[in-house]
Amino acid sequence: MSLRLATEADVAVVLQLIRELAEYEKLSHEVVANENDLRRYLFGSPRYAEALLADLPEGLAGFALFFPNFSTFLGRPGIYLEDLYVRPAFRRRGVGRALFRRVAQLAVERGCGRLEWAVLDWNTPAWDFYRLMGARPMTEWTVHRLSGESLQHVAASDTPAVLEDSRP
């Protein structure tokens, strides 16, 4: 198996892997990414994310897509693992472990204080995999997200949103 950072020539295959992952996660309807956007954000200046590809003699086995984040508490950068996906024909052959380990190595090499990611609640194979790797779920944290029209609305608003707070 060989692991390599994706190049601009890999944009189409990265997009295909993203679509395969979305299908597995039952989220295909949410994929709006296209080759031009991936080319711009993965290989433009600045680079917002990186992709690591796993190749086996039989073909491309999977990928990991990640980007930097920052921990104010640690005062150090980190890596957020957005996607880790292994094609079904290549599962249970150490591909996921190799991709995950390489992202962890990159985090250490880059002086990062942590590696983080999210897992869908129903994805027990992923939960089991990450537990085997020594990860622990951060159950005391809840992910929040603004996207689409909500993000546009907040970005364009000159008035802060007022939320009702039922706490005493």
Nearby residues of 12 by Cβ (< 8 Å), 6 or more positions away = 35
Alpha helix stretches (DSSP H) within 26-80: 35-43
What residue spans define the domains of the chain?
2-156
Query: Annotated active-site positions, please?
Result: 130
Supply the pLDDT for residue 161. 59
CA-CA distances (angstroms) from residue 32 to 27, 28, 36, 105? 11, 9, 11, 31
Supply the pLDDT for residue 144. 85
Do the Cβ atoms of 91 and 114 come closer than 8 Å? no
Residues 108-132: pLDDT tens digits?
999 999 999 999 999 999 999 999 9
Supply the pLDDT for residue 164. 56
Cα(126)–Cα(138) distance, integer angstroms: 15
Which CATH code is given to the segment(s) 2-156?
Answer: 3.40.630.30
As beta bridge partners, residue 56 has 59
Name the stretches of the chain with pLDDT < 70: 159-168
Helix, strand, or coil (residue 116): strand
Supply the pLDDT for residue 160. 60
